[in-house]
Amino acid sequence: MMNLLHDYECGTSDHFSRRTLLKTAGLSSLSWLTPMADVLATNAEKTPDLAKSIIILWLNGGPSQIDTFDPHPGKKIAADSKAIETSKKGVFVNEHLPQTAEMMGDISLVRSVVSREGDHERAIYNIKTGYRPVPGVVHPAIGSIVCHEMPRPNIDIPTHISILPGQFPSRGGFLGAQYDAFKMGDPTQPVPDLKARVGEDRQKARLESLEVVEKRFHRGRSETLAKTRTLHSDMMKQARKMMTSEQLDAFNVNDVPKSEREPFGDTPFGRGCLAAIRLVEAGVRCVEVTLSGWDTHVDNTNLTSERTKILDPAFASLIKSLKDRGLYDNTVVLCGGEFGRTPHLNPADGRDHWPHGFSMAIGGGGIAGGRVIGETDPNGEKKDPAGRINVQDVHATIQYAFGIESDRQIITPAKRPIKLSDGFVIDELL
């Protein structure tokens, strides 16, 4: 404990924090550290509540940073893209993000995210998990880690949900399939697979037959062995409970008054963002809402402008609504894709893959707003941006917001120890 305290006072531990000390010792047992304990206790009272949920706005395909959150107005690399000033003086975003621009005091922009993956599938894996793909292990997505590390809320619906999922939805990886994202489409449509496909009597007979099989399976096996061999019994019980739960109303936006729906935009993505708020309010830990169409190898300016016009009202309304409902301080909001786009246009007026410095927007859950982290080359020549932020640093920062110790090791089913994150907290965002 004395070594921990020394690291705290001297700032010599990369992953150490006041939260670590309080969690390790507990305030009630720190009386022997007086007067240090008094200082820590006083500061703890001033600390806002930890994050409880995360909403990820996934821009599938790799959005151009120049045509979204890092526009470089007046520079050659901006091409036909125009910019507007935000509510934070001197900070600009794309002209098609006017509502988001007004919310910049609640959002921070990380403009110097760097990845080592330029292929869609590998880059998506990298951004969603914080790790590069390697043989023999599947890492869990950030939402899966949050669901695994945080106490399970008392709800009947899944705690990890993906709305309008792309080709590579978030997975539980070595934490187990129970932490995979539950996938659903446009929230105006019924939640899939919640109604039996046969009549009530036949469904009852099927369940009774399944119970006979379950009992036969458990016979002669220890309870531990039976549980490790299959989870389908528990999953069946959860599914049946969900089928009759009143909490299913959180998925349905059809009954939401028109005055509440309209600000998000009349699009599946806008409705997904509205549903995300309702799900978080119900207790869901992670909701991922996907907006596809950002793979702009041709006609970049026009295609991206179409996407930003969909993103803008949904993103801004998401933040406004979370604030109005008192949820923003406990909900991290992350917006970004798998990589950025080249600073210079190609011969087809498109922008190609660029993992060497791209943007992500983040806010809520104790994350500071109104800040800009990092800077890319306004001439588009340098690959290494100033204030470089690695993908895993974003993960470590989000985990910190939840009070999760990112350097804690999990032993995988293959008996391999892996940290929750290999990154470092981005202090400028706290």
pLDDT of residue 16: 41
In the numeric block, which tokens belong to residue 222? 């220890």
> φ, ψ for residue 3 (rounded to 5)?
-65, -40
Residue written as tokens 């395909």? 61
Task: Give the per-residue pLDDT at 242.
Answer: 65
The alpha carbon of 174 is separated from its chain's Cα centroid by a whole number of angstroms, namely 18
Whether 94 and 83 have beta carbons less than 8 Å apart is answered as: yes
Interval 96-108 mean pLDDT: 98
Q: Count CB atoms within 10 A of the CB of residue 194.
A: 13
**What tokens were used for 235?**
């999953």
In this prediction, residue 368 carries a pLDDT of 96
More reliable by pLDDT, 238 or 101: 101
CB 77 within 8 A of CB 66: yes
Confidence of residue 191 (pLDDT cuts 50, 70, 90): confident
- Separation CA 127–CA 59 (nearest Å): 12
Query: What per-residue confidence (pLDDT) applies to 8?
Result: 32
The model's pTM? 0.84
255 token code pair: 């009954």
**What CATH number belongs to 51-188+253-429?**
3.40.720
The dihedrals phi and psi of 214, each to the nearest 5 degrees, come to -60, -45
pLDDT at residue 4, as a whole number? 35
Dist CA 98 CA 360 (whole Å): 17
Segment 27-42 mean pLDDT? 40
Look at residue 140 and tell me whether its pLDDT is greater than 90: yes
Q: Which residue has the tokens 């940073």?
A: 65
pLDDT in tens, 215-261: 666 666 655 555 555 555 666 566 666 666 778 888 999 999 999 99
How many other β-carbons are positioned within 10 Å of the β-carbon of residue 239?
14
